[in-house]
Chains A and B, each alone.
Chain A
Amino acid sequence: MDNSINASEKKPNIFQRFGRGFVQFWKDFGHGFVNFFKKLGSGFKNFFVNFGKRFADGSIGTKLSHFIMGAGSFYHKQYIKGAIFLILQVLFILFMVMCPTVNGTPYGWKALGNLALKGNPGGYDDMGRLIEADDSTLFLLFGLVTIAIIILFIIVYLVNIASSYKADQDEKSGKKPTSFKEDWGNLLDSRFHILMLTPTCIAALVFTVIPTIFMISMAFSTYNIVDMNDATEPYMKNLFHWNGLTNFIDLFKGKTTLGHEIGARFFPVLGWTFIWAFFATTTCYFGGILLALLINKKGLQFKKVFRTIFILTIAIPQFISLLAMRNLLNGNGPVNQILMNFGWISKPIGFLGNNTVGDNPYLAKVMVIIINMWLGVPYTMLMTSGILMNIPTDLYEAARVDGTSPIKMLFKITFPYVFFVTMPYLISSFVGNINSFNTIFLLTGGGPSVVGGTYVAGETDLLVTWLYKLTIDNGEYNTGAVVGILTFIITATITLIAYRNSKSYKEEDTFQ
């Protein structure tokens, strides 16, 4: 125990550690970046060398496989496999050439061309009939989907060649090429991970990767409902174009009204987001540990009852408890009424800042953090209860013999131990709080509001809730995407630094 106290005194303070971590992170990041491209380069080289080698070495079947998928499999009498490859190729070619249209927007090669976002503006033909304009959202989306399909096809194509080449090798070494049944068996055994991961990979590609790229692209376009509704003709409402870095520049230079309003609020909102994330994480964390200590105190009865009460609040859907809180603390809600009945206040207090513009922003901020404790403390209590019981009791015994006070034990034994074990949770909970939409949206809706325009974030708005207002309420998709990208860059940097730091932290001094 003495040892660890000494070690902790010698350790640089948190700021120095963070600073060092920061420098180290960017150094490593640079290295990693260069290495990544070096690896990629050598990977590409190997790929083409192998590709050429296979083509030269392979049997006629393998050679044919480069043009007609499945030819190699047919050559090796693996008919089912060959048929699957062939069908996939036919389907792919049909998809690319025929360009199936959905909602008047084509897939296939046309979708790739449409990625330029040069849509037909529509208009009226000679007879005065309306020709609908193209929908740029669908252009972008279908273009991305088509690219994803092409990438998947290339993977299948390479698998097809590799499979034929492997069959060649098997034949050369006197073995029989694998049958379809054996392939299926492999999929259940040595290549089980492929079978297990494919559904998730495809789902992630469609529902995470494509949407993310889609939203990133929005930041470089003119996609906002306000401008589009102002279009000279009503039928042009669905058109937008690329406009490079203009949105980013607008935000920092603040020349347009929108850019000005957003630029003026960006850093205050960012600052509050961090203050919120810091306090929301730490208050819940330490509050939870203290509550767990209290509940698990030796000799207390009814532990289960108390625990159940706190678990009850976890089990209740958050939107219910948050809306209940909001109504309790509302300007004309019960709490204000009771306070007024007692004569302690003369007019309602805007605890959550959703009454009027004049509400105190600091009060709202503090209230949000306190209510968040109400939500989060039981969870941490539950989580740390198990960990607290795992702390070796001889640590406490030794400290007691040395005459250490309970408070000191708390700070020197309990907190470091729990802290050490739950570091990963702390980091992920910090990131979770940066993106904590529900709490703010349902409690304050961002209020108290700030004077200064349509797009201005309220006092308690986080970056995410602001993002919601910008996109869903105001239809400023491009500017919202810019805010989203900046949020990502900031959270990603901090998280990666923290992860790195926690790892090295673990290595340099293990507890005890």
Chain B
Amino acid sequence: MKQKKVLLTIRSRAILSRTLSYLGLVTLSLIWIIPIFWIVLSAFRTEVNSDGQLIGIVVSNYFPKKFGVQNFINLFQGQFYGVKGVFPRWILNTLIVAVVDCLISTFLVLSVAYCMSKLKFKMRKPFMNLTMILGLFPGFMSMIAIYFLLKSIGLAGNSADNAWLNIVGLILAYSAGAGMGFQVAKGFFDVLPSSLVESAKLDGCSNFKIFWKIILPLSKPIIIYTALMSFTGPWMDFIFAKVIIGTGAPECWTVSVGLYSLLFGAQSDVNFFTQFAAGCVCVGIPIVGLFMFLQKYYVEGVTAGAVKG
């Protein structure tokens, strides 16, 4: 009898704790979802004010009274900063920057990480210390100088005719520093058994062959992680792009600079908010999709990064 009662309390306690956990998780999920969902809803809301204009931020009701895709049409065909159809241009710019930066950065990161992990040479320690010290400088400080540097060779602050030069400048600026962020990839290579490298060496493989034929095929997770990070970087970064290309013509902006300028730029307007939201949806969906698709590799990289800093 007594035993049964104890069992019962244990079971009811377990149920109670489980219910509480669910409740907590659902509440937290709601807190995390509401702002995002709000942006998505705003993108599709087409309420108009008394002048027949689209209202920017609707404050009275969370769920729209009128749905529609007018915001997207305005965004893609409308005129911002005096340039018609500039939003698709921003997307294109960002895409170009992201693809090229992804290729260059992944190559640099992997090569440096492999050297630091599996090759032994004299300058290894000093090189690692130096990258750490350089990493401690506020990145913002060198940003301004990079802007001057790029401008002096004509790769920043150009007019619309030479917008592509600004894009080249931004690619250089993004990918040049990539090699110094090798820590996560190094952590991955550290875990690969050194015996692989040694036995290949005994078979007469050169270091290049070992890297190319043995290490790289084993490194799919970290290659994907690095590529994902460097590809999404330009979509997510705001300040670097603003300093480097913000002074140039609107035609050479990236998406983040452009969308920010809709709300807070020189020709910003509160009524642009729904169009801003539409832009966020356009950018957000592919990036989120990519993350979800490659979730496994992302989690792996993040976990490795925890230990390696």
Residues of A within 8 A of B (CB): 102-103, 105, 137-138, 141-142, 185, 188-190, 192-193, 195-197, 199-200, 203-204, 206-212, 214-215, 291, 294-295, 297, 299-300, 306, 308-321, 323-325, 327-328, 330, 332-334, 336-337, 341, 374, 378-379, 382-387, 421-422, 424-425, 427-428, 431, 435, 437-438, 441-442, 463-464, 467-468, 471-472, 477, 481, 484, 487-488, 491-492, 495
Judge if B55 is at the interface, Cβ distance under 8 Å. no
A317→B257 CA distance, assembly (Å): 12
Q: Are B176 and A422 in contact (CB under 8 A)?
A: no
A441 cross-chain contacts in B, Cβ below 8 A = 239
Nearest CB on A from B285, distance (A): 10
Q: Are B179 and A199 in contact (CB under 8 A)?
A: yes
Which of B48-88 touch A at CB < 8 Å?
A: 57-60, 62
Nearest opposing residue in chain B for A379, CB measure: B302
- Residue from A215, A382, A431 with most neighbouring chain B CB atoms (10 Å): A215
Which of these binds chain A: B1-9, B141-149, B219-227?
A: B141-149
Which of B197-238 touch A at CB < 8 Å?
A: 206-209, 211, 232, 235-236, 238
Q: A203-B108, A387-B306, A484-B140 known; 11 other A-B pairs, CB under 8 Å? A: A188-B209, A195-B208, A199-B108, A199-B179, A207-B146, A207-B172, A300-B25, A306-B25, A313-B36, A317-B284, A438-B239
Q: Are A209 and B18 in contact (CB under 8 A)?
A: no
Nearest CB on A from B223, distance (A): 16
A341 cross-chain contacts in B, Cβ below 8 A = 60
Selected contact of B284 from candidates A137, A316, A330, A428, CB within 8 Å: A316
Which of B74-110 touch A at CB < 8 Å?
A: 108
Nearest CB on B from A499, distance (A): 8
- Residue from A189, A384, A438 with most neighbouring chain B CB atoms (10 Å): A189
Residue-wise, chain B 274-309 has the 8 Å CB interface mask toward A (1 for contact) of 001000100110011011100100110011011111
* A495 and B295 in contact, given A141-B149, A316-B288, A319-B238 (Cβ under 8 angstroms): no
Q: Are A383 and B303 in contact (CB under 8 A)?
A: yes
Selected contact of B173 from candidates A102, A190, A207, A209, CB within 8 Å: A207
Judge if B136 is at the interface, Cβ distance under 8 Å. yes
A324 cross-chain contacts in B, Cβ below 8 A = 35-36, 38-39, 280
A435→B273 CA distance, assembly (Å): 29
A471 cross-chain contacts in B, Cβ below 8 A = 144
Nearest CB on B from A117, distance (A): 15
A442 cross-chain contacts in B, Cβ below 8 A = 238, 260
Q: Are B108 and A215 in contact (CB under 8 A)?
A: no
A472 cross-chain contacts in B, Cβ below 8 A = 144, 243
A386→B306 CA distance, assembly (Å): 10
Total number of A-B contacts with CB less than 8 angstroms? 264
A105→B239 CA distance, assembly (Å): 29
Q: Are B302 and A334 in contact (CB under 8 A)?
A: no
* A137 and B306 in contact, given A189-B207, A311-B292 (Cβ under 8 angstroms): no
A192 cross-chain contacts in B, Cβ below 8 A = 115, 119, 206-208, 211
Q: Could you list some 12 contacts between A and B, CB below 8 A?
A: A141-B152, A185-B206, A211-B142, A211-B149, A214-B145, A215-B142, A306-B29, A317-B280, A318-B238, A374-B31, A387-B303, A488-B138
Q: Are A200 and B111 in contact (CB under 8 A)?
A: yes
Judge if B12 is at the interface, Cβ distance under 8 Å. no
B178 cross-chain contacts in A, Cβ below 8 A = 203
B288 cross-chain contacts in A, Cβ below 8 A = 312, 315-316
A319→B255 CA distance, assembly (Å): 11
Q: Are B57 and A327 in contact (CB under 8 A)?
A: yes
Judge if B191 is at the interface, Cβ distance under 8 Å. no
A464 cross-chain contacts in B, Cβ below 8 A = 138, 140
B29 cross-chain contacts in A, Cβ below 8 A = 306, 309-310
Nearest CB on A from B249, distance (A): 18
Nearest CB on A from B244, distance (A): 11
A484 cross-chain contacts in B, Cβ below 8 A = 137-138, 140-141
B243 cross-chain contacts in A, Cβ below 8 A = 472
Q: Are A207 and B136 in contact (CB under 8 A)?
A: no
Q: Are A334 and B307 in contact (CB under 8 A)?
A: no
A311 cross-chain contacts in B, Cβ below 8 A = 291-292, 295, 298
Q: Are B32 and A211 in contact (CB under 8 A)?
A: no
- Residue from A306, A317, A438 with most neighbouring chain B CB atoms (10 Å): A317
Nearest CB on B from A124, distance (A): 26
Nearest opposing residue in chain A for B205, CB measure: A189
Nearest CB on A from B49, distance (A): 14
Judge if B168 is at the interface, Cβ distance under 8 Å. no
Nearest CB on B from A115, distance (A): 15
Selected contact of B134 from candidates A206, A209, A320, A427, CB within 8 Å: A209
* A334 and B62 in contact, given A207-B146, A211-B142, A317-B284 (Cβ under 8 angstroms): yes
Nearest CB on B from A207, distance (A): 4
Nearest CB on A from B27, distance (A): 11
Which are the 8 A-B pairs with shortest beta-carbon distances? A200-B179, A424-B309, A211-B145, A315-B291, A211-B142, A207-B176, A192-B207, A189-B206
Q: Are A422 and B306 in contact (CB under 8 A)?
A: yes
Nearest CB on A from B262, distance (A): 10
A295→B25 CA distance, assembly (Å): 8
Q: Are B179 and A204 in contact (CB under 8 A)?
A: yes
Judge if B33 is at the interface, Cβ distance under 8 Å. yes
B206 cross-chain contacts in A, Cβ below 8 A = 185, 188-189, 192
Selected contact of B39 from candidates A206, A320, A382, A438, CB within 8 Å: A320
Q: Are B36 and A312 in contact (CB under 8 A)?
A: yes
A325→B119 CA distance, assembly (Å): 47
A138 cross-chain contacts in B, Cβ below 8 A = 148, 152
Nearest opposing residue in chain B for A145, CB measure: B149
Nearest CB on A from B150, distance (A): 9
Nearest CB on B from A475, distance (A): 11
Selected contact of A207 from candidates B59, B177, B263, B305, CB within 8 Å: B177
* A190 and B207 in contact, given A141-B152, A297-B21, A309-B32 (Cβ under 8 angstroms): yes
Selected contact of A467 from candidates B138, B172, B276, B280, CB within 8 Å: B138
Nearest opposing residue in chain B for A467, CB measure: B140
B131 cross-chain contacts in A, Cβ below 8 A = 204
A464→B138 CA distance, assembly (Å): 7
Judge if B256 is at the interface, Cβ distance under 8 Å. yes
